[in-house]
Structure 1
Amino acid sequence: MEELKEQGLLTEAEEAELAELRPKAQQWQKQKEYNAKRNQEERLLSPVLWSWRR
């Protein structure tokens, strides 16, 4: 949709919808990055944590 906006091929309603969705998409991306980092850390620490519990 971004490319269509740059080309002027979006209606005003579509541009408004895009503007409304952009912050949500940024929030989803941040959450996705956080989850990926957390999962990676958990995978790295998993052997350490399991050996500590024994």
Structure 2
Amino acid sequence: MEALKEQGPLTVEQEAELAELQPKVVHRKQKKKESAASLIGREWRLPPGLRSWRS
């Protein structure tokens, strides 16, 4: 978005495309944030037979 602002005014087509993409980007960021939040506090266990995550 910052790069677009530096290029100068957008064309009508670019503005329409940007308006269409913005909700998709917001949705993806929210899903990523929710996914990361679900991992916090999760207890990780080694598979049976492994003593360490290191080889």
TM-score normalized by structure 2? 0.62
Larger relative contact order (CA 8 Å, sep ≥ 6)? 1
Percent of counterpart pairs with the same letter?
38
Aligned residue pairs, count: 44
The root-mean-square deviation of aligned C-alpha atoms, in Å, is 2.3
**Equivalent in the alignment of 1:38:** 38
Which blocks of at least 5 consecutive residues in structure 1 are unaligned? 48-54
Aligned to 1:18: 18
Could you say which structure has the higher helix fraction?
1
Query: d(CA) in 1 for partners of 2:28 and 2:40?
Result: 18
Q: Give the CA deviation at 1:39.
A: 1.5
Task: Show structure 2 runs of 5+ residues with no match.
Answer: 46-55
